[in-house]
Amino acid sequence: MNSDTRARLLGLFGLGSIAVWLTLSLGNAFYLCLISTHWPKAPARVVSSGINTGSSTLGKWWAPDVEYDYRVSQHAYRSSTIRYLMPPSYEKGDAQTVSTVYPREAQTTAAYDPENPARSVLEPGVPAGMWTKALILPFFWAVTGYMFYEIIRPRRRFMLRSNPEVAAQE
């Protein structure tokens, strides 16, 4: 095995690991978004509403912080999930807009998982613009598949070089 093949195998392992991690994390979030549209709804009361802030390598971020309680079958539950796939905002106004929709003591509805009523969300479904995140998965799997194809077909690499006879002597 030459150094090119070893480097390709290392790259394949890295890309494959990233593809698996993205599939598990984004796949689970998209699954919850999709099934939440079919969950039953219960009346909910907003207990607190505000904005969290912090900083990352991308800059300062803001995220709405809404806590609500609801009842299902005589059991009380409390949650803070507004919607799945809700990234922090890098514009303070975006976070304020969401938190003003749910002011303290407001009455609203929460969609809850009938198999696990402690899991709920105020805004079920896939948020606008998040479908483009689903394209990340096929991209990583396509690059991983292409790299695997290149590894198992080493003669193809010789044909891609400008002078295959010189490449065959290497």
- DSSP per-residue letters across 106-163: -EEEEEEETTEEEEEESS-SPPTTGGGGGGHHHHHHHHHHHHHHHHH-HHHHHHHSS-
Instruction: Examine the pLDDT at 35 and tell me if it is beyond 70.
Output: yes
Give the confidence band of 62 by pLDDT, cuts at 50, 70, 90: confident
DSSP secondary structure letter of residue 170: -
Residue 161 scores a pLDDT above 70: no
Res 117: pLDDT: 94
Residue 1 confidence (pLDDT) above 70: no
Is the pLDDT score of 69 beyond 80?
yes
Residue 52: pLDDT above 80?
yes
* CA separation for the pair 112, 119 (Å, rounded): 6
> At 36, is the pLDDT very low, low, confident or very high (cuts 50, 70, 90)?
very high
pLDDT at 158: 57
Mean pLDDT of the chain: 83
> How large is the average pLDDT for residues 37-66?
90
SS3 62: strand
- Rounded CA-CA distance 130/143 in Å is 22
Domain map of the chain by residue range? 1-37+126-153, 40-124
pLDDT surpasses 80 at 156? no
Q: Does residue 108 contact residue 95 with C-beta atoms inside 8 Å?
A: no
Considering only CA atoms, give the Rg of the chain: 24
pLDDT score of 100 more than 60: yes
Q: Token pair for residue 144?
A: 């991983």
